[in-house]
Amino acid sequence: MAVEDLTLGLILALAMLPVAGWASPRFARCIRAGQRIRPEGPADHRGKAGTPTMGGIVPLALILAGTGILWALGPGPSAGGAFVLLSMGLGGVVGLLDDLRSQRRGTSVGFFPHQTLLTQALGAGLLCLLVPTLGEVGLAIPFSAVSLPLSSLPVGAWIPLVVVGFMGTVNAVNLADGLDGLATGAWLLSVLGLLLAGGGTELGGIALAALGAGAGFLWANAYPARVFLGNVGSMGLGGFLFGIAFASGRVFLLPFTGGLFVVMALSVILQVMSYKLTGVRLFKMAPFHHHLEEGEVAWPHRIRSPGWPEPKVVVRLWLLEAAFALLGVLAGSFA
């Protein structure tokens, strides 16, 4: 990883941090986008209704601008950087369309699930078009010194990897965005884990700039949140996370460095399976972070909730994600 890329990335991160913290809530108030709370959600969350949302557009825009500066002052655009930005942009566009529909309808529901999945699948298809330009990217195999050349994989192998990886990451980050600061903080730790796991040259600078933009947003998004990511922010950040992992050859490390997001996605799957098969929910509420929160529900569930206050849930899940990120660094240290 070139020292110049890291140095410029650090400078951009320090510059973006206060900008994101200052601009995100103001931008969200300017566009008059207010958070809609789903009726079946935790009762304590009803007080969050009307909180400015879609503020995640600001860190996404800063990441885009920071990458442009890195390219302008460095060797120029690269296929890896373009892949990262396209992945982020496609996730953000799907989330933006979802948010706009939700705001127009005045409800917490924008796209229906099948519409979200369809648009994400179309986005993943567009992302596949850029994969052949990545060249000799080596896909690191966790806990081994083996690196699998991307060019050695048949089309029938890497297309499902891109589609499933992109859709899974985008949706998992979106599912984690249910408590103040949870998804943003976990995303920062996951990106940091990928950065420490190595891979890429200017991709390291892009990742550092993104960390600054995300940390600045977290300043305003931490409990009690003054602004929310919105689906545009959570899906855009999810797209960035997948893009940086794939383009750097660390995509197989992503389930480790982003382990908390895997837990959130699995909790929803298990909740649905339990209810469909037995008629009883497994958790008090899914995703899993809502199960950990204080508050009672009217329906039976199999696993007892600890009933923690929201800030305690967030900090403890950040610690869990930090452990996952370190596990990812360990998994990639054998190369």
Question: Which residues participate in the annotated binding site for Mg(2+)?
Answer: 174
Q: Under 8 Å CB-to-CB from 185, ≥6 apart: which residues?
A: 218, 222, 314, 318, 321
3-state secondary structure of 239: helix
Using CB atoms within 10 Å of the CB of residue 275, give its burial: 0 to 12 exposed, 13 to 18 middle, 19+ buried.
middle
Q: The tokens 């992302």 sit on which residue?
A: 127
Cis peptide, bond prior to residue 113, ω within 30 of zero:
no
Cα–Cα distance for residue pair 229/238, rounded to 1 Å: 12
> 227 is written with which tokens?
């602004």
Using CB atoms within 10 Å of the CB of residue 224, give its burial: 0 to 12 exposed, 13 to 18 middle, 19+ buried.
exposed
Phi, psi of 308 (to 5 degrees): -85, 150
- Specify whether the CB–CB gap between 84 and 239 falls below 8 A: no
Instruction: Please give the annotated binding residues, written as ranges.
Output: 174
Q: What is the dihedral of CA 127, 133, 138, 141, to 10 degrees?
A: 10
3-state secondary structure of 268: helix
Q: Under 8 Å CB-to-CB from 152, ≥6 apart: which residues?
A: none
- Specify whether the CB–CB gap between 117 and 167 falls below 8 A: yes
**Among 217, 257, 248, 210, residue whose Cα is nearest residue 10:** 210
